[in-house]
């Protein structure tokens, strides 16, 4: 089960029962103020318990008036200049409450402790990395199916992978011989000059080799060539490995999104990390 993606004017919304939320992925200020009550209607009509919105700082006050709270911020997000705010509006108290606060704290503490360490990005012998193409889509779905029982986007669908790689997503893969063993992607917002580093998946027998570090470093190079100035990620707040990966690669912590995303059967909180590409670090 995956969520649906639709437009409201020039804004882009993902929503569905999978994560029991509506997600305002891209917002056009031209759609205000009508967009705000539309999101409320969408959530209430479908029984969603959260609206998650990614909006420019300049309109944050309008959502705050409607009951949203700020959960994370990234400076110089749009065109390397304007801040973005990640906001949440909750319709039930349980959804707004972090169920594992001590675990979230320990993960962040561990990640920050590793922030001064350089990430090892060299590949072991017998491994190679390259950009994934349309003909790799079937192999990609096999990896994603093994790593994620469920996922908020239809990465188990080869057609979806081909469609996104033809438009705005760059997928990189690591191979052991001819076998695809790890994947990650950069979802590009070329107009806004930012990119989400996402969809990291490594097969169980290949973990512990630093493959995510290598993929992240290579994705940053490609994104920079595409004119991207800010990279960010929305990482599982309970995952020591992924948070440490981004911390080691000079990403800064931006905030935690409470009970935001359903992955592998559970609603999980997510940590936002960001990095200015091309900067020393």
Rounded to two decimals, the pTM is 0.94
> Where in the chain are the domains?
4-96, 101-276
Give which of 66, 34, 32, 61 is closest to 51, Cα–Cα. Answer: 66
Q: How do the pLDDT tens digits run along the chain, 281 residues long?
A: 568 999 999 999 999 998 999 999 999 999 999 999 999 999 999 999 999 999 999 999 999 999 999 999 999 999 999 999 999 999 999 999 999 999 999 999 999 999 888 777 789 999 999 999 999 999 999 999 999 988 888 999 999 999 999 999 999 999 999 999 999 999 999 999 999 999 999 999 999 999 999 999 999 999 999 999 999 999 999 999 999 999 999 999 999 999 999 987 889 999 999 999 976 44
Burial class (CB in 10 A: 0-12, 13-18, 19+), 256: buried
CATH superfamily of 101-276: Gcn5-related N-acetyltransferase (GNAT) (3.40.630.30)
Q: How many Cβ atoms are within 10 Å of 25's Cβ, its own excluded?
A: 17
Look-up of token digits 């027998």: 205
**Per CATH, the architecture of 4-96 is what?**
3-Layer(aba) Sandwich (3.40)
Say if residues 183 and 132 touch (Cβ distance below 8 Å): yes
Same-fold call for 4-96 versus 101-276: yes
- Cα 281 to its chain centre, rounded Å, is 22
Which of 172, 169, 158, 162 shows the shortest CA–CA distance to 128? 172
């Amino acid at each position: 089960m995956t969520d649906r993606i639709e437009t409201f004017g020039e804004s882009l919304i993902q929503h569905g029962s999978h994560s029991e939320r509506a997600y305002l992925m891209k917002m056009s200020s031209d759609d205000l103020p009508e967009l705000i009550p539309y999101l409320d209607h969408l959530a209430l009509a479908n029984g969603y318990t959260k609206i998650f919105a990614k909006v420019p700082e300049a309109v944050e006050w309008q959502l705050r008036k409607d009951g949203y709270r700020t959960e994370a911020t990234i400076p110089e997000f749009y065109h390397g200049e304007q801040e973005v705010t990640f906001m949440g509006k909750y319709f039930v108290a349980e959804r707004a409450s972090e169920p594992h606060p001590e675990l979230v704290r320990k993960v962040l503490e561990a990640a920050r402790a590793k922030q001064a360490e350089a990430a090892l990005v060299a590949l072991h012998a017998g491994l190679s990395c390259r950009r994934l193409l349309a003909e790799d889509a079937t192999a990609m779905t096999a990896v994603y199916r093994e790593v994620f029982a469920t996922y908020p986007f239809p990465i188990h669908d080869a057609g979806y992978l081909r469609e996104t790689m033809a438009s705005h997503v760059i997928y990189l893969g690591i191979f052991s011989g001819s076998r695809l063993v790890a994947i990650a992607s950069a979802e590009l917002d070329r107009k806004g000059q930012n990119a989400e580093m996402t969809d990291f998946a490594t097969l169980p027998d290949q973990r512990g080799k630093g493959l995510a570090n290598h993929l992240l470093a290579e994705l940053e190079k490609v994104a920079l060539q595409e004119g991207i100035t800010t990279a960010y990620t929305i990482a599982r707040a309970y995952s020591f490995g992924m948070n440490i990966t981004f911390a080691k690669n000079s990403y800064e912590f931006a905030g935690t999104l409470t009970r935001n995303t359903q992955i592998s059967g559970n609603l999980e909180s997510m940590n936002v990390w960001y990095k200015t590409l091309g900067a020393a670090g």
